[in-house]
Homo-oligomer: A and B are copies of this chain.
Amino acid sequence: MQYSNQQSTRQESATEQLLAPSPAAQPTSGPLTREELQLAARNHSMPLEALHREVTPPGLHYVLAHFDIPDLDASPWHLRIGGAVERALELSMAALRRDPAITIPVTLECAGNGRSLLEPRPPSQPWVLEAVGTAHWTGVPLAYLLGKAGVLPDAVEVVFTGADAGVQGGVPQQYARSLPIREALRPDVVLAYKMNGADLPPQHGYPLRLVVPAWYGMASVKWLESIEVVKGPFAGFQQAVAYRYQGSADDAGSPVSRIRVRSLMVPPGVPDFFTRERFLPAGPVMLEGRAWSGEGAVTAVEVGIDGTWLPAHLDKPLGGYAWRRWSLPWVASTGGHVLACRATDITGATQPLEQNWNYQGMGNNVVQRVSVSVE
């Protein structure tokens, strides 16, 4: 069953009576709700031990889908490119696969990562720390297809629409986001049909998705159905209402775009099943993790051991848009310890030690802290 445009259109009349658009309910200091648990059950985190891996396999890579994951057939699938172009195009998957392809390793992170740690907590997908992953994405450069279509001089944005449909903030919609023309023409923005060398898994956008390196995941529209070049700013829900840095409900705010610098650590030792508290024996242990930024290269990672910060060793990054491994040998002494990691990027931006709160819980990159018991 596919959620077609037709269904989406019929849907609009069904929900006209709903409230004015809002990103979500009010932030709360109350307990987790059933609605948040339902979202946590659907949307998958990358277990932190997968930070051992330079490339994240499907099933470990994070997944967020606003609506249902479409079940699409690649054979009849066509991508439409239209709007402010010289030649509208309609391309089959077979045609797209004949176009020149590139493969790029990209770290994608959800803009809402870390949201459940915020106080008060914006009610939405309640990520803890792990909404991240790195994969090799293969497909046709978007710039190549935009070149084929011919972008008109007065075009300002490119709108990408996925096949996934539903209601958010009272607004019936297919998931859609735009990019400014200058971002859309970057040579590394790709219409991907392969992840790590295999066809896209359903949850990652089969048969075709956008991948926008350096931007938070909301820009990388999955189940891509159409591309429309437009002459004015796109005002769709996911652009104008959701994914904004707002101080309050009344604040128009500013759009979320590039990934803020962040690092994560593989929690050392072994876990307690329920509490996820970590246990490890006294003695030498290699602390390690990965660091990334959408603003430019990661230039330093410091590891905090009970409040003392030490510089970590940095490996070469997998690519310009992928995370970098960091490591630091530590001799664990008996007792309880709190470990942390903090990355800095080439712009000088560094991770905050305390939460940088905003109304929708976006771009949270506070340092991770890991408590360990050493015996």
Cβ of A305 under 8 Å from chain B: no
Is B41's CB under 8 angstroms from A375's CB? no
Say whether A347 faces chain B, with CB atoms less than 8 Å apart: no
Encode A102-122 as 1/0 by CB contact (under 8 A) with B. 000000000000001000000
Whether A155 sits at the interface, judged by CB under 8 Å, is no
Contact B37 A37 (CB under 8 A): yes
A59 contacts partner chain B, Cβ-Cβ < 8 Å:
yes
Copies per complex of this chain: 2
Asked if residues B41 and A68 are in contact (CB atoms below 8 Å), the reply is no
* A156 interface residue per 8 A CB criterion: no
Q: Specify which of A3, A272, A275, A373 lies most central, judged by the most chain B CB atoms within 10 Å of its CB.
A: A272
Contact indicator A32/B31 (Cβ below 8 Å):
yes
Q: Which of A47-55, A141-149, A351-359 contacts B (4 or more CB under 8 A)?
A: A47-55
Residues of B within 8 Å of A269, CB to CB, are 11
Give the contact-size bracket for chain A.
35 or more
Chain B residues within an 8 Å CB radius of A40? 37, 40-41
Known: A116-B37, A373-B14. A274 touches B25 (CB 8 A): yes
A1 and B268 alpha carbons, distance in the complex (Å) = 10
Q: Does A79 contact B (CB under 8 A)?
A: no
Q: How far is the CA of A276 from the CA of B68 in the complex (A)?
A: 10
* Interface-lining segment among A90-98, A124-132, A184-192: A124-132
Binds B, one of A160-168, A245-253, A314-322, A336-344: A160-168
| Cβ contacts A to B, 24 pairs, < 8 Å | A1-B266, A3-B270, A8-B270, A14-B374, A32-B36, A35-B274, A35-B276, A37-B128, A40-B41, A42-B130, A44-B59, A49-B68, A49-B71, A59-B204, A60-B202, A67-B270, A68-B271, A124-B274, A166-B273, A167-B273, A167-B279, A168-B272, A169-B273, A172-B270
